[in-house]
Amino acid sequence: MNDLSFLKPTSRQIDFDHFDNRLLLYVLQYEPSFLTCVSCGGCTATCSAGNLTNFNVRKIGLSLRRGEIDILAEEIQKCMFCGKCTLVCPRDINIRNVVLLIKKRIVILKKQ
């Protein structure tokens, strides 16, 4: 009677047979500074959208690196493009531009 199947963790492995890196390559082409991101969390801590919703800028970066286009398509809509993330980034990454690039390109990728 005790169904504890909800406690079963989902796999966090990247399946390179089904890995879609098109979006990551596109972002790196126009914003190569994203390669230096160390996921410090400064962007997430200052995010205005993150204070109002469950938006997490660091999750955007992780999903981009994992090729999780469906998750990105949903999360990216929550960004308010205020630019606070870019101002506090210790690596001088234009995170607002990264989010904008994802938003522009994801429309094309979802149609394919």
Give the tens place of pLDDT for each residue, 53-104. 899 999 999 999 988 888 899 999 999 999 999 999 999 999 999 999 999 9
CA distances from 20 to 72, 108, 110 (A): 12, 14, 12
Does residue 64 belong to any structural domain of this protein?
Answer: yes
Number of domains in the chain: 1
Q: Does the pLDDT of residue 4 top 70, yes or no?
A: no
Quote helix, strand, coil % in the chain, to nearest 5: 60, 0, 40
Instruction: Quote the mean pLDDT of the chain.
Output: 88
Does residue 60 belong to any structural domain of this protein?
Answer: yes
Cα first-last separation, the chain: 44
Does residue 12 belong to any structural domain of this protein?
Answer: no
Q: Which of 9, 11, 112, 12 is nearest to 62 (CA)?
A: 12
Q: Are 83 and 76 in contact (CB under 8 A)?
A: no
Q: How confident is the model at residue 20 (pLDDT cuts 50, 70, 90)?
A: confident
Does residue 76 belong to any structural domain of this protein?
Answer: yes
Query: 81: domain range?
Result: 20-27+41-111
Does residue 6 belong to any structural domain of this protein?
Answer: no
Does residue 51 belong to any structural domain of this protein?
Answer: yes
Does residue 61 belong to any structural domain of this protein?
Answer: yes
Structure tokens at 76: 């990216």
pTM of the model: 0.82
